[in-house]
């Protein structure tokens, strides 16, 4: 980005063109553009020519009655805050960091494309699972986009300053996401040095971001809210049939989003009533019972909802091309709103929270932690230890009587 300051109108045009270059869908670009047009009209009324974070917040408060990160609507939650703040981010750093794009859109700038197959092979040789390779390469594509926007056309021209500049673009991301980006960059710079793409090993220049070692207590759904969520699904239409089966797989069997996405027709062992799959995250083989209600929901979708397709995956998109779904996070928010379920702002309540809820229910029934860990497919037992923090009944048994402690210490 040039150091020249751009007017709001110029900034909007530049950000919109950048989104088009990054292959955002026409629908997404238009949604952003609608909010930006409102911003331009508001700026004209206020006589403001240049964008600032403070002006953006003022616009959100006055025009959208925005407070604390969410806008309440009858049917869904929309996010003009993201759409406004992306302008400030672009003004500062010259890049638009996508929140989520499917794998077909995550292509590197053409000038850097030839190096990516070798990098993916390098990661696989290090022993990274396919899912981890995908995450690392997506992170690096975003770094390469940053380089391209800053007119870097050769990897041997990358310097420590570019690492620092890219790191600055991550300031709004959570600690875990930043750690993921920095780890990916270390892999990439070691690869560049070892394969002769860069004279220096720049991995040592990547910041050491210390993530918190303590885990937050997972959000747990009440039994009533889970039932309301499932009841809100319209199972009379194909998409509802698909989403209902997905929600049952998570609430009843605790599957991860990535494993639901990757579930194949061949993983359904109907003759023995179980599901057998290799987990995307851990690479472990997992066998789970095909419960009656889960099986019936999947059958209903396969017979009366699933598009005709040669794709081997169970759950497909319902728009051409009919290939596998890449994300189910939004379906939880959709049916929460339809069911009138409210959650405190800032509390994670996506698909993964339903997996936490199933683990919590098992713990309440005195199912051993080792069994829960096995059901959830954790790589090690410690991964399931976070659920101890939500087993309130058993934690109460561990509580100390202050009087007993006082007497003991003074005896």
State the catalytic residues: 256, 281, 352, 355, 378, 387
What sign has the CA pseudo-torsion 165, 171, 177, 178?
positive
Q: Rounded CA gap, 262 and 312, in Å?
A: 9
Q: Rounded CA gap, 318 and 324, in Å?
A: 9
CB 288 within 8 A of CB 279: no
Instruction: Return the structure tokens found at 301.
Output: 């979708």
């Amino acid at each position: 980005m040039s150091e020249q300051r751009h007017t709001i109108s110029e900034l909007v045009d530049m950000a919109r063109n950048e989104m088009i270059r990054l292959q955002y869908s026409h629908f997404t670009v238009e949604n952003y553009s609608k909010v930006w047009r409102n911003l331009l009209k508001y700026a004209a009324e206020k006589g403001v020519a240049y964008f600032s974070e403070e002006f953006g917040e003022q616009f959100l408060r006055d025009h959208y009655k925005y407070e604390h990160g969410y806008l309440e609507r009858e049917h869904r939650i929309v996010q003009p805050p993201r759409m406004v703040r992306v302008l400030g981010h672009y003004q500062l750093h010259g890049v638009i960091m996508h929140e989520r794009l499917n794998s077909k859109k995550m292509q590197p700038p053409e000038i850097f494309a030839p190096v990516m197959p070798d990098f993916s092979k390098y990661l696989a040789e290090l022993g990274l699972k396919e899912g981890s390779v995908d995450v690392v390469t997506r992170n690096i594509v975003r770094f390469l986009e940053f380089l391209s926007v800053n007119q870097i056309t050769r990897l041997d021209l990358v310097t420590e300053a570019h690492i620092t500049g890219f790191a600055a673009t991550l300031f709004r991301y959570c600690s875990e996401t930043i750690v993921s980006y920095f780890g990916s960059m270390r892999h990439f710079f070691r690869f560049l040095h070892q394969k002769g793409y860069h004279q220096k090993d720049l991995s040592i220049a990547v910041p050491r971001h210390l993530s918190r070692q303590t885990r937050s207590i997972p959000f747990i759904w009440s039994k009533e809210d889970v039932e309301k969520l499932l009841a809100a699904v319209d199972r009379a239409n194909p998409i509802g049939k698909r989403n209902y089966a997905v929600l049952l797989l998570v609430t009843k069997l605790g599957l991860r989003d990535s494993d639901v996405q990757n579930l194949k027709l061949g993983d359904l062992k109907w003759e023995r009533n179980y599901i057998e799959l290799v987990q995307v995250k851990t690479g472990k083989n997992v066998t789970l019972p095909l419960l009656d209600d889960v099986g019936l929901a999947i059958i209903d979708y396969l017979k009366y909802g699933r598009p005709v397709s040669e794709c081997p995956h169970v759950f497909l998109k319902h728009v051409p091309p009919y290939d596998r779904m890449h994300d189910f996070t939004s379906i939880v928010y959709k049916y929460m709103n339809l069911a009138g379920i409210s959650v405190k702002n800032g509390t994670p309540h996506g698909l993964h929270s339903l997996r936490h809820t199933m683990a919590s229910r098992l713990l309440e029934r005195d199912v051993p932690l080792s069994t829960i860990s096995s059901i959830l497919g954790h790589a090690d037992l410690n991964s399931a230890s976070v659920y101890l923090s939500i087993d309130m009944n058993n934690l109460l048994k561990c509580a100390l009587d202050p009087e007993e402690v006082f007497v003991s210490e003074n005896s």
